[in-house]
Copies of this chain bind each other. A is one copy, B any other.
Amino acid sequence: MTTSFFPPQRTLMGPGPSDVSPRVLGALSRPTIGHLDPLFVQLMDEIKGLLQYAFQTNNELTLPISAPGSAGMEACFVNLVSPGDTVIVCQNGVFGGRMKENVERCGARAVMVEDAWGEPVSLDKVAAAFADHPEANTLAFVHAETSTGVRSDAEALCALARDNNALSIVDTVTSLAGIELKVDDWGADAVYSGTQKCLSCIPGISPVTFSQRAVERIQSREQKVQSWFLDMQLVMGYWGGSAKRAYHHTAPVNDLYALHESLVMLQEEGLENAFVRHQRNHHALVAGLEAMGLSMAVAAEHRLPQLNAVNIPDGVDDANVRSALLNDFNLEIGAGLGGLAGKTWRIGLMGFASSEHNVLGCLTALEAVLTREGASINASAALPAAQAHFSGQ
């Protein structure tokens, strides 16, 4: 007989999921009510308003997709892209490649703009791609590349799209609630995110928002959206503004309790305060890592405070170190992905996990494990460097 599962209490400092607050876990386990219950419909309205705040948008079509971020990505592509379209896709990490897959599975053509992993998207290359492909009607890019820890200039990229009469599809899975994101001010058109990063909610839900321009394109489609589940014209009937909600699919009721609570916590803290907290903890972590003798993989001006890519020192066994952190310290950090596997670690400081306690705990554990592994580091230098940073604030 299989028995109940009791997970250990980990500290999640990888690329997500991040630590979930006890408040959010408490909300998650409240009694399930029906997805058409009038009280649930009120909750849906509150979630919409809270997501509009998080995204900094007044977009009417702002809602959580009932599936993980990959499905949110797919929702943006299948609704906005039609067969025969040309889409400029920026790739500077894993997720640009996934966008290309989405474009091609929509029967459209992906024009790739490639930058090195660890570098931001080049505005000049995107401008050149538009010049070469005046038929392109969509630009897709990742704001915060989870695979490398790099921030691209989303504001400038959205402006480039507008200047070329294209709509923008923006991956904000790792940026939402961690760094500045202004959907309306920047004129982003279709934006998706995830719950398990800087919102510090459980994984499984993907907040999305669509501009009026995006809605118009969806409404003027000649072909049906290839996905019934992700067809925004149908989803709108359930999440739309009218009092009468048309059943589309059964909403993930408890997951939405959790999302609501995580957004209430974000509102209580305030977006700006959350950004400052992410920055402070990031700088302290970097100070500690550099004092230890490690080096960051991304240039300072492009670093994401919520996801810190660190070069693995020569001669150190990547998997050994991560296993030791997990088994001896209950601490999860992330491996490198794709071309960076074995070369970098990704240390997340996302949402609830972005705390002084976690910065100091991670430095302590990493120092202990690297020392044990025989790495040449500056023992005992990391903690004072990080603490000095905190006390200096």
Which A residues are within 8 Å of any B CB, using their own CB?
1-10, 12, 14, 16-17, 19-20, 23, 25-35, 37-40, 43, 46, 49-50, 66-71, 73-74, 98, 101-102, 104-106, 194, 196, 202-204, 224-229, 247-255, 257-258, 260-261, 263-264, 267-268, 326, 332, 337
Cβ contact within 8 Å between A31 and B25: yes
Q: Point out the residue from B28, B34, B70 that lies within 8 Å of A254, measured CB to CB.
A: B28
Shortest 4 CB-CB distances between A and B: which pairs? A204-B252, A29-B29, A67-B67, A70-B249
Give every chain B residue within 8 A of A43 (Cβ-Cβ): 5, 7
Specify which chain B residues have a CB less than 8 angstroms from the CB of A264 in the assembled complex. Answer: 1-4
Residues of B within 8 Å of A19, CB to CB, are 32
A7-B203 Cα distance, complex, nearest whole Å: 22
Residues of B within 8 A of A49 (CB): 2
Most B CB within 10 A of own CB, among A67, A202, A263: A67
Question: Would B20 and A31 count as touching, CB distance under 8 A?
Answer: yes
- Indicate if the CB atoms of A229 and B70 lie closer than 8 Å: yes
Q: List 22 A-B contacts (CB under 8 A).
A: A1-B268, A2-B260, A2-B263, A4-B27, A5-B30, A8-B39, A10-B33, A10-B34, A10-B37, A12-B33, A12-B34, A17-B32, A34-B332, A66-B68, A68-B229, A68-B250, A105-B224, A105-B225, A202-B255, A203-B251, A254-B258, A255-B255
Chain B residues within an 8 Å CB radius of A20: 31-32, 254
Task: Among B10, B16, B71, B337, point to the contact of A31 (Cβ < 8 A).
Answer: B10
How distant is the Cα of A27 from the Cα of B29 in the complex, in angstroms? 9
The answer to whether B34 and A6 touch across the interface, beta carbons within 8 angstroms, is: no
B249 adjacent to A17 (CB under 8 Å): no
A134 CB to nearest B CB, Å? 28
Closest to A200 in B: B32
| Nearest CB of B to A345, in Å | 14
CB distance from A213 to the nearest CB of B (A): 24
With A and B bound together, what is the CA distance between A88 and B29 in angstroms? 41
**Cα-based distance from A202 to B28 in the complex (angstroms):** 10
- Bound complex: CA of A29 vs CA of B5, how far in Å? 12
Contact among B4, B67, B73, B106 for A71, CB-based, below 8 A: B67
